[in-house]
Chain A
Amino acid sequence: SAVISQKPSRDICQRGTSLTIQCQVDSQVTMMFWYRQQPGQSLTLIATANQGSEATYESGFVIDKFPISRPNLTFSTLTVSNMSPEDSSIYLCSVVEYNEQFFGPGTRLTVL
């Protein structure tokens, strides 16, 4: 199964700033996804990031707020821009391999 790492594992940020989260996979994968898990809540899909194309965002999420890069088949970044306390969440990336979705350990973000 794919092994996924994320950086940073956690961060505390000031409102109005931006944070870029990195996701690294140990194998080449076509599809990568970014999710958000707000405190005590379930996971919500933010966007799908395929290499060589623009990310596809779900309803309620926009590129200006959550720009995504996918420069190659093993790496992606998600930026949380102009942060507010409501952005405090765990952000997870995931990949699909053999129709199974594997998740990274998550990045715990706290916005003050």
Chain B
Amino acid sequence: AQSVTQPDIHITVSEGASLELRCNYSYGATPYLFWYVQSPGQGLQLLLKYFSGDTLVQGIKGFEAEFKRSQSSFNLRKPSVHWSDAAEYFCAVVHSGGGADGLTFGKGTHLIIQP
């Protein structure tokens, strides 16, 4: 069965600094990968997704992610974080083949922004 690992439970970054959140997946075929953000009291918002093609994916709010098949990774990056980026970030993979299926989520990374 596929799985998603987010090795960092908490990450603290200074405002204006760069950010990288790690995500590793276990899946036999080409995965459909997603990053979601969940702000306190808010719903889940899709930041970006990867299905195929260019391995560097641009998302909303200045985020990007790079798919690396050799490392089974899909790390999320942002060159300069803002205080409003403080939230919980989830990496997810489609439950089984195809894009229209349930998702398996990682345990999440809690991002803390220092002033």
Contacts and interface: CB of A to CB of B under 8 A. Distances in A.
Interface of A: 30-31, 33, 41-45, 48, 58, 92, 96, 99-106
A8 to B, nearest CB: 15
Interface in B34-82: 34, 36, 43-44, 46, 49, 51
Interface of B: 32, 34, 36, 43-44, 46, 49, 51, 90, 95, 99-108
Contacts of B99: 96, 99
Contacts of B102: 33, 45, 48, 58
Contacts of A104: 43
Contacts of A58: 102
The B interface is mostly helix, strand or loop, or mixed, namely loop
Contacts of B49: 99-100
B90 A101 contact: no
Nearest to A97: B100
Between A31, A45, A92, A101, the greatest number of chain B beta carbons within 10 A of the residue's beta carbon is seen for A101
Contacts of A43: 44, 90, 103, 105
B104 A41 contact: no
A29 B3 CA distance: 27
Contacts of B101: 31, 48, 96
Given A31-B100, A33-B102, A96-B100, A42 B108 contact: yes
A100 B36 CA distance: 11
22 contacts: A41-B107, A42-B106, A42-B107, A43-B105, A44-B105, A45-B95, A45-B102, A45-B103, A45-B104, A48-B102, A92-B43, A92-B44, A96-B99, A96-B100, A96-B101, A99-B49, A100-B49, A101-B46, A101-B103, A103-B43, A105-B43, A106-B43
